[in-house]
């Protein structure tokens, strides 16, 4: 009886040892960066344009940069930011525009290791409580309350490590007590062996418990990578590039109430909503605000007979078929349902994720508008007849792959 318990405990102990080892390993992987070196590199290369707090200097304050971007992106960015912008990376383009197209210089000579040290230094500074930041910077604190998400993670991790340690200590105490106790008793040879057994590494590595722990660990790592990746799909909401001419929807569609269709002529007729040509602007601006530098740009384009190089905001991948008239006419969906209140936007911003889930959700929920549409009369009758309630888009095939995919 005693022995059975003892064996169970040893097994438990092994598992805890392994868990503990893994936790420590995960932590030391982070601790490898050289923060002192990072600080030196940061002062030499970055401090002229960046602070480590929230405040922007020439470039953004770098506090919390680890929550905004992953390491691979940061390495690429620091080595050659203009290449990242040129690749069309939405975040980079938006940031570049936000900082008035100020070019961050490239650092092709910094090694990955150097950049990781710099990032380690930024993180360490960001994790410091606000009070120390004040004494270092000699300036009033910009934010008194925000602690940052990474601070939370550290608290949780430390808590886990402490708990594991406590469990470990308690268990080893129990084991040594039991062993001592048993050694005073008369035991069979086989039992003695079990009581006196030492921690045997090889048997640990072979044990199914160890394999299970490793398996679970890898599963979690892979699952995390997978989740991170899917979370990124379609995360373009908020994309609002600066356009070559500061055209304002708030002014034109809002204040002057020009109809969307006046400019986006095919939005009720065809697949695409088309961006207006220079001619449409000229209808009014050959008379209105002639001397404005912004309007001069329209004249320039008209003279050279070249289109204005508007930057595209919404963009579905090529494999998707989306038709405006199907939604604006047949579906009677307002522009605002998908684009937000454009008439109040100074600069157009993408408000919907344009992900597959977004399309499908709406197709599941939205009732087909059939009033006055002869085509649907028979369908509706059939649908009602079959005991259905309202007819949703999904009921007319709105979830079929081939409807949306070429």
Helix (H, G, I), strand (E, B) or coil at 367: strand
| Min dist. Cβ of residue 290 to ligand HEC (A) | 10
| Min dist. Cβ of residue 375 to ligand HEC (A) | 9
The pairs formed by 86-91 with CB atoms below 8 angstroms and a separation of 24 or more are 90/236, 90/239
Our CB check for ligand HEC shows the closer of 16 and 99 to be 99
**Closest by Cα among 15, 13, 21 to 209:** 15
Our CB check for ligand HEC shows the closer of 180 and 271 to be 271
| Min dist. Cβ of residue 252 to ligand HEC (A) | 4
| Min dist. Cβ of residue 154 to ligand HEC (A) | 21
| Min dist. Cβ of residue 311 to ligand HEC (A) | 7
Q: What angle do CA 58, 64, 68 make, to 5 degrees?
A: 90
Residue 113 sits at φ, ψ, to 5 deg, of -60, -45
Residue written as token pair 């230094």: 121
Our CB check for ligand HEC shows the closer of 195 and 327 to be 327
CA–CA distance, 190 with 175 (Å, rounded to integer): 18
| Min dist. Cβ of residue 151 to ligand HEC (A) | 18
Residue written as token pair 């923060």: 35
Number of residues that make up the chain: 406
**Closest by Cα among 348, 358, 275, 345 to 316:** 358
CA–CA distance, 292 with 281 (Å, rounded to integer): 14
Our CB check for ligand HEC shows the closer of 195 and 338 to be 338
Our CB check for ligand HEC shows the closer of 111 and 180 to be 111
Our CB check for ligand HEC shows the closer of 18 and 260 to be 260
| Min dist. Cβ of residue 214 to ligand HEC (A) | 31
Our CB check for ligand HEC shows the closer of 198 and 312 to be 312
Our CB check for ligand HEC shows the closer of 151 and 254 to be 254
| Min dist. Cβ of residue 304 to ligand HEC (A) | 15
| Min dist. Cβ of residue 130 to ligand HEC (A) | 19
| Min dist. Cβ of residue 393 to ligand HEC (A) | 4
Helix (H, G, I), strand (E, B) or coil at 392: strand
Our CB check for ligand HEC shows the closer of 60 and 195 to be 60
Our CB check for ligand HEC shows the closer of 23 and 352 to be 352
CA–CA distance, 172 with 195 (Å, rounded to integer): 14
DSSP secondary structure letter of residue 342: G
Tally Cβ neighbours within 10 Å of residue 238.
11
**Closest by Cα among 75, 74, 51, 70 to 61:** 51
Tally Cβ neighbours within 10 Å of residue 233.
11
The pairs formed by 248-255 with CB atoms below 8 angstroms and a separation of 24 or more are 248/345, 248/346, 248/347, 249/342, 249/343, 249/344, 249/345, 249/346, 249/348, 250/343, 250/344, 250/345, 250/346, 253/342, 253/343, 254/343, 254/344
């Amino acid at each position: 009886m005693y022995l059975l318990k003892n064996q169970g405990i040893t097994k438990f102990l092994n598992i805890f040892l392994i868990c503990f080892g893994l936790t420590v390993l995960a932590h030391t992987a982070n601790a490898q960066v050289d923060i002192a070196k990072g600080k030196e590199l940061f002062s030499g290369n970055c401090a002229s344009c960046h602070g480590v707090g929230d405040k922007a200097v020439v470039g953004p304050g770098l506090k919390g940069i680890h929550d905004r971007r992953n390491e691979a992106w940061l390495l690429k960015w620091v080595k050659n930011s203009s290449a990242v912008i040129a690749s069309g990376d939405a975040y980079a383009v938006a940031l570049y525009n936000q900082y008035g197209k100020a070019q961050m210089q490239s650092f092709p000579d910094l090694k990955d290791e150097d950049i990781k040290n710099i990032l380690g230094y930024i993180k360490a500074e960001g994790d410091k409580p606000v009070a120390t930041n004040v004494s270092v910077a000699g300036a009033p604190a910009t934010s008194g309350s925000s602690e940052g998400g990474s601070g939370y993670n550290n608290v949780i991790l430390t808590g886990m490590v402490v708990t594991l340690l406590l469990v470990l200590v308690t268990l080893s105490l129990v084991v040594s007590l039991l062993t001592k106790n048993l050694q005073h008793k008369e035991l069979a040879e086989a039992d003695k062996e079990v009581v006196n057994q030492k921690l045997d590494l090889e048997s640990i590595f072979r044990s199914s418990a160890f394999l299970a722990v490793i398996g679970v660990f890898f599963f979690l790592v892979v699952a995390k990578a997978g989740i991170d990746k899917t979370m990124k799909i379609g995360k373009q909401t908020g994309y609002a590039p600066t356009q070559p001419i500061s055209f304002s929807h708030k002014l034109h569609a809002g204040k002057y109430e020009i109809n969307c269709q006046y400019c986006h002529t095919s939005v009720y007729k065809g697949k695409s909503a088309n961006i207006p040509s220079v001619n449409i602007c000229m209808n009014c601006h050959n008379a209105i605000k002639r001397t404005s530098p912004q309007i001069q740009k329209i004249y320039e384009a008209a003279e050279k007979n070249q289109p204005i190089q508007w930057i595209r905001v919404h963009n579905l991948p090529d494999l998707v078929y989306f038709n405006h008239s199907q939604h604006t006419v047949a579906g009677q969906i307002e522009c605002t349902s998908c684009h937000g209140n454009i008439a109040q936007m100074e600069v157009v911003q993408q408000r919907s994720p344009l992900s597959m889930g977004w399309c499908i959700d709406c197709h599941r929920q939205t009732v087909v508008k059939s009033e006055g549409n002869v085509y649907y009369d028979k369908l509706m009758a059939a649908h009602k007849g079959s005991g259905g309630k309202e007819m949703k888009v999904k009921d007319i095939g709105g979830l079929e792959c081939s409807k949306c995919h070429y």
